[in-house]
Amino acid sequence: MLRRAAKVDVNQPEIVAGLRKVGFSVLIISQLKNCCDIVVGKDGRNWLLEIKPNAKAKLTEGEVKFHENWKGTVYIVTSVEEALEVIKNDLNK
């Protein structure tokens, strides 16, 4: 049985392009069921990002389970600026 393609948030291409433009590697994994949307890397560090179209958008049931069970950090972002901010804050911990 073929799985229908996962819905991509409308702002995902812009966020991916913006991160790549400033030197990050970005792996799009949004097609994986019950996972986050992208893995971002730079200078030996990695970040898992869940992209939502706006601050009011809810996580799916599968995303909630992933966030609850993942033993690392998953950030929820809605823009390039927000993605860069969470990465900057993580680096400054």
DSSP-derived letter for residue 50 is: E
pTM attached to this predicted model: 0.90
Residue 5 has pLDDT above 50, yes or no: yes
Give the integer Cα–Cα distance in Å for 74 and 87: 11
Q: pLDDT per residue over 8-35, tens digit each? A: 889 999 999 999 999 999 999 999 999 9
Confidence of residue 60 (pLDDT cuts 50, 70, 90): very high
For tokens 């790549």, the residue is 20
